Amino acid sequence: MSAPARLLISCPDQPGIVAAVSGLLTQIGCNIIHADQHSTDPTGGRFFMRMVFEPMGVSRTVVAGAFEAVARRFDMQWTLSYGERRRMAVLVSKYDHCLIDLLWRRRRGDLEVDIPLIVSNHPDLEKDARFFGVPFYHLEINRENKRAQEDRMHEMFLEHGVDFVVLARYMQIVSPEMVARWPSRIINIHHSFLPAFIGAKPYHHAFERGVKIIGATAHYVTDNLDEGPIIEQDVVRVTHRHSVEDLVRLGRDIERQVLARAVAAHLEERVLVYGNKTVVF
Protein backbone atom coordinates (compact mmCIF):
# COMPACT_ATOMS: atom_id res chain seq x y z
CA MET A 1 0.00 0.00 0.00
CA SER A 2 1.40 3.37 -0.98
CA ALA A 3 1.59 6.26 1.50
CA PRO A 4 -1.54 8.41 1.64
CA ALA A 5 -1.45 11.68 -0.30
CA ARG A 6 -2.46 15.04 1.14
CA LEU A 7 -4.16 17.98 -0.48
CA LEU A 8 -4.11 21.31 1.33
CA ILE A 9 -6.42 24.04 0.13
CA SER A 10 -7.12 27.63 1.05
CA CYS A 11 -9.64 29.77 -0.85
CA PRO A 12 -12.48 32.25 -0.47
CA ASP A 13 -15.44 30.46 1.12
CA GLN A 14 -18.36 29.60 -1.15
CA PRO A 15 -20.80 26.71 -1.63
CA GLY A 16 -19.72 23.57 -3.43
CA ILE A 17 -16.04 23.29 -2.52
CA VAL A 18 -16.20 20.01 -0.61
CA ALA A 19 -18.37 18.41 -3.30
CA ALA A 20 -16.12 19.64 -6.12
CA VAL A 21 -12.88 18.41 -4.53
CA SER A 22 -14.20 15.09 -3.23
CA GLY A 23 -16.08 14.51 -6.49
CA LEU A 24 -12.94 15.05 -8.54
CA LEU A 25 -10.77 12.76 -6.40
CA THR A 26 -13.37 10.01 -6.45
CA GLN A 27 -13.86 10.38 -10.18
CA ILE A 28 -10.20 9.86 -11.01
CA GLY A 29 -10.12 6.81 -8.76
CA CYS A 30 -8.59 8.08 -5.51
CA ASN A 31 -10.03 7.02 -2.16
CA ILE A 32 -10.61 9.76 0.43
CA ILE A 33 -9.53 8.64 3.90
CA HIS A 34 -9.99 11.79 5.89
CA ALA A 35 -11.00 15.40 5.40
CA ASP A 36 -10.99 18.47 7.61
CA GLN A 37 -12.43 21.86 6.78
CA HIS A 38 -12.55 25.21 8.47
CA SER A 39 -14.18 28.45 7.53
CA THR A 40 -13.14 31.66 9.25
CA ASP A 41 -16.62 33.01 8.60
CA PRO A 42 -19.49 31.18 6.89
CA THR A 43 -20.44 34.36 5.03
CA GLY A 44 -17.56 35.64 2.98
CA GLY A 45 -14.66 34.26 4.98
CA ARG A 46 -11.75 32.09 4.01
CA PHE A 47 -12.07 28.36 3.60
CA PHE A 48 -9.40 25.81 4.50
CA MET A 49 -9.38 22.12 3.72
CA ARG A 50 -7.01 19.21 4.23
CA MET A 51 -7.84 16.03 2.42
CA VAL A 52 -5.98 12.78 2.97
CA PHE A 53 -6.51 10.19 0.28
CA GLU A 54 -5.23 6.89 -0.98
CA PRO A 55 -4.06 7.61 -4.57
CA MET A 56 -4.85 4.01 -5.68
CA GLY A 57 -2.08 4.15 -8.22
CA VAL A 58 -3.05 7.52 -9.71
CA SER A 59 0.14 9.54 -10.05
CA ARG A 60 0.85 12.93 -8.54
CA THR A 61 0.98 14.48 -12.00
CA VAL A 62 -2.42 13.13 -12.95
CA VAL A 63 -4.03 14.31 -9.71
CA ALA A 64 -2.42 17.75 -9.98
CA GLY A 65 -3.41 18.05 -13.61
CA ALA A 66 -7.00 17.09 -12.98
CA PHE A 67 -7.13 19.44 -10.01
CA GLU A 68 -6.04 22.55 -11.92
CA ALA A 69 -9.51 23.37 -13.22
CA VAL A 70 -11.16 23.06 -9.81
CA ALA A 71 -8.41 25.16 -8.26
CA ARG A 72 -8.92 27.92 -10.80
CA ARG A 73 -12.69 27.83 -10.42
CA PHE A 74 -12.52 28.42 -6.68
CA ASP A 75 -9.39 30.63 -6.73
CA MET A 76 -7.49 28.17 -4.56
CA GLN A 77 -4.02 28.20 -3.11
CA TRP A 78 -3.08 24.57 -2.80
CA THR A 79 -0.33 22.07 -2.24
CA LEU A 80 -0.34 18.38 -3.00
CA SER A 81 2.06 15.97 -1.36
CA TYR A 82 2.54 12.29 -1.89
CA GLY A 83 4.14 11.47 1.41
CA GLU A 84 7.50 12.90 0.32
CA ARG A 85 9.83 12.71 3.29
CA ARG A 86 10.66 16.22 4.55
CA ARG A 87 14.11 17.49 5.44
CA MET A 88 14.50 19.53 8.62
CA ALA A 89 17.46 21.63 9.72
CA VAL A 90 17.83 22.18 13.44
CA LEU A 91 19.52 25.25 14.93
CA VAL A 92 20.65 25.00 18.52
CA SER A 93 22.75 26.83 21.03
CA LYS A 94 23.83 25.15 24.29
CA TYR A 95 20.57 23.69 25.62
CA ASP A 96 20.29 19.99 24.89
CA HIS A 97 16.72 19.08 25.87
CA CYS A 98 14.82 20.03 22.71
CA LEU A 99 17.52 18.69 20.41
CA ILE A 100 17.83 15.30 22.10
CA ASP A 101 14.08 14.96 22.20
CA LEU A 102 13.74 15.65 18.46
CA LEU A 103 16.60 13.30 17.64
CA TRP A 104 15.18 10.56 19.80
CA ARG A 105 11.67 10.93 18.34
CA ARG A 106 13.10 10.73 14.86
CA ARG A 107 15.10 7.60 15.71
CA ARG A 108 11.97 6.14 17.33
CA GLY A 109 10.01 6.78 14.12
CA ASP A 110 7.60 9.14 15.92
CA LEU A 111 8.77 11.96 13.66
CA GLU A 112 9.04 10.81 10.07
CA VAL A 113 11.61 13.32 8.92
CA ASP A 114 15.18 13.50 7.72
CA ILE A 115 17.58 15.75 9.60
CA PRO A 116 20.44 16.44 7.19
CA LEU A 117 22.18 18.89 9.51
CA ILE A 118 22.32 20.59 12.87
CA VAL A 119 23.90 24.03 13.05
CA SER A 120 24.99 25.73 16.23
CA ASN A 121 26.85 28.83 17.34
CA HIS A 122 28.39 26.70 20.10
CA PRO A 123 30.24 23.38 19.87
CA ASP A 124 28.60 21.86 22.97
CA LEU A 125 26.05 19.57 21.37
CA GLU A 126 28.23 18.01 18.71
CA LYS A 127 28.61 14.73 20.59
CA ASP A 128 24.84 14.36 20.94
CA ALA A 129 24.30 15.05 17.26
CA ARG A 130 26.92 12.49 16.33
CA PHE A 131 25.43 9.83 18.59
CA PHE A 132 22.18 10.14 16.72
CA GLY A 133 24.00 10.13 13.40
CA VAL A 134 23.37 13.70 12.30
CA PRO A 135 26.08 16.01 10.87
CA PHE A 136 26.80 18.95 13.16
CA TYR A 137 28.18 22.28 12.01
CA HIS A 138 29.60 24.87 14.34
CA LEU A 139 29.18 28.40 12.99
CA GLU A 140 30.39 30.95 15.48
CA ILE A 141 28.22 34.03 15.45
CA ASN A 142 29.03 37.53 16.64
CA ARG A 143 27.79 41.00 15.84
CA GLU A 144 30.14 41.45 12.93
CA ASN A 145 29.67 38.16 11.13
CA LYS A 146 26.00 37.47 11.86
CA ARG A 147 24.71 38.42 8.45
CA ALA A 148 27.46 36.52 6.66
CA GLN A 149 26.98 33.44 8.80
CA GLU A 150 23.26 33.47 8.13
CA ASP A 151 23.99 33.61 4.41
CA ARG A 152 26.27 30.64 4.82
CA MET A 153 23.63 28.81 6.80
CA HIS A 154 21.08 29.52 4.10
CA GLU A 155 23.39 28.06 1.47
CA MET A 156 23.93 24.99 3.62
CA PHE A 157 20.18 24.58 3.87
CA LEU A 158 19.86 24.75 0.10
CA GLU A 159 22.72 22.31 -0.42
CA HIS A 160 21.12 19.85 1.97
CA GLY A 161 17.67 20.20 0.40
CA VAL A 162 16.18 21.54 3.63
CA ASP A 163 12.38 22.02 3.66
CA PHE A 164 12.03 23.77 6.99
CA VAL A 165 14.05 24.93 9.96
CA VAL A 166 13.54 24.33 13.67
CA LEU A 167 14.99 26.65 16.29
CA ALA A 168 15.41 24.24 19.17
CA ARG A 169 16.29 26.87 21.79
CA TYR A 170 18.61 28.65 19.36
CA MET A 171 18.87 31.77 21.51
CA GLN A 172 19.59 34.02 18.54
CA ILE A 173 17.23 36.41 16.81
CA VAL A 174 16.91 35.43 13.18
CA SER A 175 17.28 38.32 10.71
CA PRO A 176 14.35 39.58 8.61
CA GLU A 177 16.23 38.37 5.51
CA MET A 178 16.32 34.84 6.86
CA VAL A 179 12.62 35.01 7.78
CA ALA A 180 11.77 36.25 4.29
CA ARG A 181 13.63 33.31 2.77
CA TRP A 182 11.75 30.76 4.87
CA PRO A 183 8.22 32.10 5.27
CA SER A 184 6.12 29.92 7.62
CA ARG A 185 8.97 27.48 7.49
CA ILE A 186 10.94 28.41 10.61
CA ILE A 187 9.48 26.96 13.82
CA ASN A 188 10.63 28.43 17.11
CA ILE A 189 10.01 27.25 20.65
CA HIS A 190 9.57 30.13 23.07
CA HIS A 191 9.83 29.35 26.77
CA SER A 192 6.71 31.18 27.88
CA PHE A 193 2.98 31.04 27.44
CA LEU A 194 2.77 33.73 24.75
CA PRO A 195 1.78 36.51 24.57
CA ALA A 196 2.93 36.67 28.19
CA PHE A 197 6.66 37.25 28.68
CA ILE A 198 7.81 38.05 25.17
CA GLY A 199 11.57 38.31 24.75
CA ALA A 200 14.47 37.36 26.99
CA LYS A 201 14.40 35.56 30.34
CA PRO A 202 10.70 34.67 30.46
CA TYR A 203 11.14 32.31 33.42
CA HIS A 204 12.69 35.12 35.43
CA HIS A 205 9.78 37.39 34.58
CA ALA A 206 7.26 34.66 35.39
CA PHE A 207 8.94 34.18 38.75
CA GLU A 208 8.88 37.91 39.48
CA ARG A 209 5.22 38.20 38.47
CA GLY A 210 4.31 35.30 40.71
CA VAL A 211 2.27 33.37 38.15
CA LYS A 212 0.85 30.01 39.20
CA ILE A 213 1.25 28.41 35.78
CA ILE A 214 4.09 28.61 33.27
CA GLY A 215 4.11 27.50 29.66
CA ALA A 216 5.82 27.17 26.32
CA THR A 217 4.79 28.18 22.81
CA ALA A 218 5.80 26.87 19.39
CA HIS A 219 5.23 29.35 16.57
CA TYR A 220 6.32 30.24 13.08
CA VAL A 221 8.95 32.94 13.10
CA THR A 222 8.05 36.30 11.65
CA ASP A 223 9.76 39.68 11.78
CA ASN A 224 8.10 40.50 15.08
CA LEU A 225 9.88 38.77 17.95
CA ASP A 226 7.72 36.02 19.50
CA GLU A 227 4.64 37.30 17.68
CA GLY A 228 4.38 34.82 14.82
CA PRO A 229 1.45 32.42 14.28
CA ILE A 230 1.13 30.05 17.23
CA ILE A 231 1.13 26.35 16.40
CA GLU A 232 1.02 24.78 19.85
CA GLN A 233 1.16 25.70 23.54
CA ASP A 234 1.14 23.89 26.83
CA VAL A 235 1.50 24.72 30.50
CA VAL A 236 2.53 23.35 33.87
CA ARG A 237 1.44 24.37 37.35
CA VAL A 238 3.98 26.01 39.69
CA THR A 239 3.88 27.33 43.25
CA HIS A 240 5.66 29.80 45.47
CA ARG A 241 8.07 27.00 46.38
CA HIS A 242 9.58 26.92 42.90
CA SER A 243 12.72 28.98 42.33
CA VAL A 244 13.63 30.40 38.94
CA GLU A 245 15.85 27.34 38.48
CA ASP A 246 12.85 25.11 39.17
CA LEU A 247 10.80 26.97 36.55
CA VAL A 248 13.61 26.48 34.05
CA ARG A 249 13.74 22.76 34.87
CA LEU A 250 9.96 22.25 34.74
CA GLY A 251 9.80 24.35 31.60
CA ARG A 252 12.21 22.05 29.79
CA ASP A 253 9.65 19.24 29.84
CA ILE A 254 6.99 21.50 28.40
CA GLU A 255 9.27 23.04 25.80
CA ARG A 256 10.39 19.77 24.30
CA GLN A 257 6.86 18.39 24.16
CA VAL A 258 5.31 21.49 22.65
CA LEU A 259 8.08 21.71 20.06
CA ALA A 260 7.74 18.02 19.16
CA ARG A 261 3.98 18.35 18.73
CA ALA A 262 4.40 21.43 16.55
CA VAL A 263 7.00 19.72 14.37
CA ALA A 264 4.73 16.67 14.03
CA ALA A 265 1.80 18.88 13.00
CA HIS A 266 3.99 20.69 10.47
CA LEU A 267 5.31 17.40 9.06
CA GLU A 268 1.84 15.92 8.73
CA GLU A 269 0.80 19.13 6.95
CA ARG A 270 -1.89 19.78 9.49
CA VAL A 271 -0.97 23.47 9.87
CA LEU A 272 -2.34 26.23 7.67
CA VAL A 273 -1.32 29.84 8.28
CA TYR A 274 -3.65 32.75 7.68
CA GLY A 275 -2.82 36.24 8.79
CA ASN A 276 -1.05 35.82 12.09
CA LYS A 277 -2.96 32.73 13.12
CA THR A 278 -2.97 29.03 12.36
CA VAL A 279 -5.52 26.39 11.61
CA VAL A 280 -4.18 23.13 13.07
CA PHE A 281 -6.22 20.21 11.77
Phi-psi region of 55 (alpha: psi -120 to 50; beta: other; left: phi over 0): alpha
Read out DSSP for 176-217?
HHHHHHSTT-EEEEESS-TTTT-SS-HHHHHHHHT-SEEEEE
Q: Which is nearer to a copy of itself, 22 or 175 (CB)?
A: 22
Q: Which stretch binds a copy of itself (CB under 8 A): 15-23, 76-84, 85-93, 180-188?
A: 15-23
Q: Which is nearer to a copy of itself, 121 or 278 (CB)?
A: 278
Q: Which stretch binds a copy of itself (CB under 8 A): 67-75, 83-91, 178-186, 223-231?
A: 223-231
Q: Which stretch binds a copy of itself (CB under 8 A): 69-77, 141-149, 183-191, 273-281?
A: 273-281
141-148 — which CB contacts under 8 Å span 24+ positions?
141/172, 146/175, 147/175, 147/177
Among 230, 247, 259, 263, binds a copy of itself (CB under 8 A): 230
Q: Is 33 in the site for a copy of itself (CB under 8 A)?
A: yes
x/- binding map, residues 112-141, to a copy of itself, per CB under 8 A? -------------------x----------
Indicate which residues carry an active-site annotation.
226
Whether 126 and 94 have beta carbons less than 8 Å apart is answered as no
Among 150, 163, 226, 232, binds a copy of itself (CB under 8 A): 232
